Chains A and B, each alone.
Chain A
């Protein structure tokens, strides 16, 4: 259902990318460029669904970050909104009031959290509790060499 996930801030800086469909390196750069131009800076009075190529971009802005999912045209837009919100709540619970800086310095953790929820572009778990439990199990396993982790 989902081709890729993009987290961009209002200046157009990319904070996280997740790719679920085959895009080459060049295609990825091009896609990010086009999508950023379409979405960043859009008035908040406009609706959050934008047609792009043969796909649809569904996004929501939370504070300084745009959370953007690129989906097929057949996707249920409202379901995708629910998914975006679910993901934001997950990050919020894990990082305790998440902010952009958390995602900048801990982008790897953010990846692992999202991986528990979105597997290969499909919503795979509807219980936040189960996801957060799996994440803390992984944290115990992982001996990290980062100072802040």
Chain B
């Protein structure tokens, strides 16, 4: 009798004491079921294998059987195979066997077949597969269905990571998608372009005007974050860009409620426009939001940490602006989280001047007496200042 997946999960949970034994027995049954003539039986066996993989078992022995499911004409069986292949095709030989199948399913007229193939291919592709399949994935970027276009775009990106030589042919097609009709396709294109730009900004200088236009028009925060991030690495390559960007970024800093976008704007200002003192000052003032109290009286540790990280970056170019935030930074020395204390310490060390050294050292000495664990760090910092 073939136990379905539900029974297996229940069984594993029930056999808490002899779990390994139960799993071994089940695995034995699965090895038989996976060779069964009926595809439905094989599908259930593979579902069970996917579950056992979650518990830490290697299922790569079943790669060939999973491949046979992936070639099923029935969507629900095909899907089981495509999900499992991400967990089973962990050695290159197994993945290579599947190349022609991927090629066939990607070109399928059925949206669901093509999309499930594209998704799994992104996770499974080896450099050889990428080279062979890239020409088949690229045409889907102009499919009539946005659902497929999105998946083709991201899949292309993942294939390019495996086969970078393919960028020459695919870049223009990717760039065209920036003007796609569908907003979610545009968003996906921006995500992918961001990753590419971060890797090698000089290839994308010609796209700067396009990115600038999108920045001005878009109201999707996630896309804005990516665009601002791109500009951080593009700014050093295009001297006129700094002047043009000052206004839009200043606008975003002043008006956005999304801390994630604010964070990215400040980061870009610091990394790409260090000479814009006014913008820097506005941004750092807004940064004080990161250190403020929430409605329930607590403070957000993550925001505090990120705020301090950004201040460290500003410190290198505009120490005076950071000095205005000194009380806040000194407060962070008292924080229960050691990662925050260490960040704050770095900032304090950078803010020391001949005038305030006595006060700073006194404050630090109080800490040294109070907390032994960061004693070593504090002694180091004091020595450096001397």
Chain A interface residues (CB < 8 Å from chain B): 1, 14-20, 22-25, 28-29, 32, 45-49, 74, 76-79, 81-82, 104-105, 107-108, 111-112, 115, 119-127, 130, 134, 138, 141-148
Contacts and interface: CB of A to CB of B under 8 A. Distances in A.
Given A78-B259, A112-B83, A125-B184, 14 more contacts: A17-B54, A76-B229, A76-B260, A77-B302, A79-B260, A105-B9, A112-B79, A119-B188, A120-B122, A121-B122, A122-B188, A124-B150, A126-B222, A146-B5
Nearest to B110: A141
B187 interface: yes
B151 interface: yes
A101 to B, nearest CB: 10
Nearest to A14: B54
A74 B336 CA distance: 27
B225 A76 contact: yes
A105 B9 CA distance: 7
B340 interface: yes
Interface in B44-72: 44, 47, 50-51, 54-56, 58, 60
A128 B87 CA distance: 27
Contacts, number: 149
Nearest to A81: B302
A73 to B, nearest CB: 10
Given A24-B90, A142-B76, A146-B5, A122 B191 contact: yes
Contacts of A20: 122-123, 158
B112 A141 contact: yes
Contact of A105 (B6, B50, B154, B302): B6
Contacts of A17: 54, 87
Given A46-B337, A115-B119, A120 B147 contact: no
B184 A130 contact: yes
28 contacts: A14-B54, A16-B54, A19-B86, A20-B122, A24-B90, A24-B91, A28-B90, A32-B56, A46-B301, A48-B302, A49-B305, A76-B225, A78-B263, A78-B303, A79-B225, A112-B79, A119-B154, A119-B155, A120-B119, A120-B122, A120-B155, A124-B187, A124-B188, A130-B184, A134-B147, A141-B75, A144-B76, A145-B40
Given A76-B263, A111-B83, A47 B222 contact: no
Interchain residue pairs A-B with the least CB separation, the first 9: A78-B260, A120-B122, A120-B154, A25-B90, A47-B301, A142-B76, A47-B305, A122-B191, A119-B154
